[in-house]
């Protein structure tokens, strides 16, 4: 696996059970995956020699991020390495403009977009939106490559602001695209897997909640989604994985507009934050499934184990608390014995993803469990209670504060 972050770390965890061991290309021995994998190649994804060293003798090469240059992957492919997802597919997860163009060709729903190569293109696109949507027109500017966790996404409120962002980024050599800002009801993610043999599998569609442009909470499955819409999202994701020739897992990030439309935001061809709930909430986790897919095993059952599972990211606090992470963990375990904690071995920095919590709802929807739990409630209350506990737990792990005022000494 190219990259030694938390996705590689959790993929290694899944590999162990399959009798496999992940070799990783990491920048440093302190990378999250390098801390736990015995087989680490130190190097960078920008170096073809480092890529060759990690690929040599491996069954397949796969990724924990989207940064590896296409030209290097084409070289590996020519040298006989099984690169999954293949670079011909991966490019649509690396390049947002190529993705938008290909999706439009395939007839998938995307927001209106335009390539921005000069500030004048911003005026032109703003005007086009204005003519079409009037007072409801709004724009998003995006770096075509390299953005993550909302870095590389700008939501300007005025044309002047949009022009200023574009001028600054273009001056700094950042290629840009502009797209229509969708009036969001919420954001969804449809995750699928596809094997070289051509088998496909889809997990239930989930809702993702973003804060400051980055994923904070996932509700799985998304609530209040009609069977028809869920089916549509699943077939869209399965169809795209087939058309694009994806091997491995793919997340299709979706917008549900206030008019009930589904619009594709972007594609991720690797384990994804919106799939972390599957580690505890599904028969087969995204990490195991990714390995099954890239190793061309039959795929696993993607059924949910409970009516709802909520994942909450542990996001670094503005200032890291004095209480150690280990002591916070100890208190969390004492209060919420059913909380499943996944820590990435990363230093705490503001807003950095350092771990996540999964709370799997009770199997019949009538047990919430734990000291704050309610019982005998309806489904929405049940989901809200599971979510509240996941968020309480994640916030506690990040800040050493219980937002509901609970005290371990009380």
Ligand X SMILES: Nc1ncnc2c1ncn2[C@@H]1O[C@H](COP(=O)(O)OP(=O)(O)OP(=O)(O)O)[C@@H](O)[C@H]1O
Which is nearer to ligand X, 81 or 236 (by Cβ)? 236
Closest CA to 96 of 69, 66, 124: 66
Closest CA to 253 of 41, 69, 92: 92
Give the shortest CB-139-to-ligand X separation in angstroms: 8
Give the one entry of Mg ion, ligand X, none that residue 179 binds, where binding means its C-beta sits below a cut-off of 5 to 8 angstroms depending on kind: ligand X
29 binds ligand X (CB under 6 A): no
Give the one entry of Mg ion, ligand X, none that residue 111 binds, where binding means its C-beta sits below a cut-off of 5 to 8 angstroms depending on kind: ligand X
How many chain residues touch Mg ion (CB under 5 A)?
1
Give the one entry of ligand X, Mg ion, none that residue 294 binds, where binding means its C-beta sits below a cut-off of 5 to 8 angstroms depending on kind: none
CA distances for 363 relative to 202, 311, 374, angstroms = 21, 17, 15
Return the structure tokens found at 383.
């989901």
Which is nearer to ligand X, 39 or 183 (by Cβ)? 183
148 binds ligand X (CB under 6 A): yes
Return the structure tokens found at 359.
């709370």
Which is nearer to ligand X, 195 or 208 (by Cβ)? 208
Site string for Mg ion, 252-271 (x = CB under 5 A): -x------------------
Residue 229 CB neighbours (<10 A): 18
Give the shortest CB-30-to-ligand X separation in angstroms: 23
Mark the segment that binds ligand X (CB under 6 A) among 149-157, 221-229, 278-286, 375-383. 149-157
Give the one entry of ligand X, Mg ion, none that residue 246 binds, where binding means its C-beta sits below a cut-off of 5 to 8 angstroms depending on kind: none
152 binds ligand X (CB under 6 A): yes
64 binds ligand X (CB under 6 A): no
50, 95, 187, 234: which one binds ligand X (CB under 6 A): 187
Site string for ligand X, 254-283 (x = CB under 6 A): -----------xx-----------------
Mark the segment that binds ligand X (CB under 6 A) among 161-169, 209-217, 219-227, 317-325. 209-217
Mark the segment that binds Mg ion (CB under 5 A) among 219-227, 233-241, 245-253, 293-301. 245-253
Strand partners, 353: 315
Give the shortest CB-110-to-Mg ion separation in angstroms: 14
Mark the segment that binds ligand X (CB under 6 A) among 212-220, 240-248, 296-304, 336-344. 212-220
Give the shortest CB-212-to-ligand X separation in angstroms: 9
Give the shortest CB-263-to-ligand X separation in angstroms: 8
69, 175, 213, 321: which one binds ligand X (CB under 6 A): 213
Q: Helices 159-171 & 119-133, crossing angle to 10 degrees? A: 150
Give the shortest CB-255-to-ligand X separation in angstroms: 6
13, 62, 214, 286: which one binds ligand X (CB under 6 A): 214
User: CB neighbours of 26 closer than 8 A, spacing ≥ 6?
Assistant: 3, 4, 8, 33, 34, 40, 41, 42
Q: Identify the residue whose tokens are 């724009």.
A: 139
Which residues sit at the interface with ligand X, rule CB under 6 A? 111, 140, 142, 147-153, 179, 181-182, 184, 187, 210, 213-215, 253, 265-266
Which residues sit at the interface with Mg ion, rule CB under 5 A? 253
């Amino acid at each position: 696996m190219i990259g030694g972050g938390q996705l590689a770390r959790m993929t290694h965890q899944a590999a162990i059970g399959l009798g496999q061991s992940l070799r990783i290309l990491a920048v440093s021995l302190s990378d999250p995956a390098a801390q736990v994998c015995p087989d680490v190649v130190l190097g960078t994804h920008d170096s073809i020699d480092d890529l060759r060293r990690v690929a040599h003798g491996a069954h397949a090469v796969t990724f924990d991020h989207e940064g590896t240059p296409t030209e290097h992957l084409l070289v590996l492919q020519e040298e006989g390495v099984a690169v999954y997802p293949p670079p011909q597919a991966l490019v649509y997860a690396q390049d947002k403009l190529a993705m938008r163009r290909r999706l439009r060709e395939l007839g998938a729903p995307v927001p209106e977009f335009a390539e921005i190569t000069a500030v004048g293109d911003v005026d032109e696109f703003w005007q086009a939106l204005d003519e079409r949507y009037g007072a409801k027109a709004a724009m998003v500017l995006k770096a075509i490559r390299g953005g993550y966790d909302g870095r590389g996404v700008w939501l300007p409120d005025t044309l002047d602001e949009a022009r200023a962002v574009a001028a600054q980024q273009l001056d700094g050599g950042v290629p840009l695209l502009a797209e229509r800002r969708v009036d969001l009801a919420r954001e969804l993610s449809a995750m699928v897997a596809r094997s070289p043999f051509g088998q496909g599998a889809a997990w239930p569609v989930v809702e993702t909640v973003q804060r400051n442009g980055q994923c904070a909470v996932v509700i799985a499955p998304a609530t209040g989604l009609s069977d028809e819409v869920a089916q549509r999202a699943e077939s869209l994701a399965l169809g795209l994985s087939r058309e694009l020739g994806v091997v491995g897992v793919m997340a299709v990030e979706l917008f549900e507009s206030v008019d009930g439309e589904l619009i594709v935001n972007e594609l991720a061809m690797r384990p994804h934050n919106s799939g972390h709930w599957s580690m505890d909430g599904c028969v087969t986790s995204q990490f195991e499934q990714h390995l099954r897919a890239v190793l061309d095993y039959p795929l696993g059952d993607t059924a949910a184990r409970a009516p709802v599972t909520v994942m909450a990211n542990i996001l670094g606090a503005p200032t890291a608390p004095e209480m150690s992470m280990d002591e916070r963990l100890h208190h969390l375990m004492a209060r919420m014995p059913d909380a499943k904690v996944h820590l990435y071995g990363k230093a705490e920095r503001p807003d950095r993803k350092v771990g996540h919590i999964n709370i799997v709802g009770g199997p019949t929807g009538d047990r919430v469990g734990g000291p704050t739990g309610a019982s005998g409630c309806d489904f929405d209350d049940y989901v809200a209670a599971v979510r509240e506990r996941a968020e309480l737990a994640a916030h506690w792990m990040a800040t050493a504060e219980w937002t509901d005022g609970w005290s371990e000494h009380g």
